[in-house]
Amino acid sequence: MTAAAVASAVAGAALLCSAGPAAADNPPYSGCPEWALCLYQNGGGTGSKAIVTPPAAGGNNKIVRLTNTHFLNGELADNQVSSWLNNSQCQIEFWDDPKGEFHPSDLDVAPSWQWGLKADHAFGTSKAHVNDRISSLRFYCP
């Protein structure tokens, strides 16, 4: 009877250990709070994310430089964004503005009033030319 209990405990511990890494993986585009823009390091809303808070609604604008924004894993978000999710009512322009000279190239746009809109710039998508080029954002919040 004691041997059976030990064998059962060992099997249970092995199951818990093997389930740990899989349980730590987040589903695509997960964990993006309301009134936030989430930038993901990998395509399809995977990898580490950066959470950017837009300005308040009511005609406010804001420019965010990704040279000052980090993913949750500590890496700089500048030229590393492969996908995004907009959970705000703001319009967002995604720019390639590598030197901060305000001569940006528009790479993508999230129209206002499109909660939950997402885009994937990873290789093989229709916007693959944008992958890892986003360096600045401009918010327009009606």
Instruction: Look up residue 1 and give its two tokens.
Output: 């009877």
| Distance between CA atoms of residues 50 and 31, nearest Å | 11
- pLDDT tens-digit map of 102-125: 667 889 999 999 999 999 999 888
Q: Where are the alpha helices (DSSP H) in the chain?
A: 2-24
Task: Give the three-state DSSP class for 2.
Answer: helix
Residue type, 31: G
User: In a 10 Å sphere around its CB, with 0-12 CB exposed, 13-18 middle and 19+ buried, how is residue 101 labelled?
Assistant: exposed
- pLDDT tens-digit map of 47-58: 999 999 999 999
| Distance between CA atoms of residues 116 and 132, nearest Å | 21
- pLDDT tens-digit map of 1-41: 455 444 444 444 443 343 333 334 578 999 999 999 999 99
**pLDDT score of 101 more than 70:** no
pTM above 0.85, yes or no: no
Could you tell me the domains of the chain?
A: 27-141 (2.60.20.10)
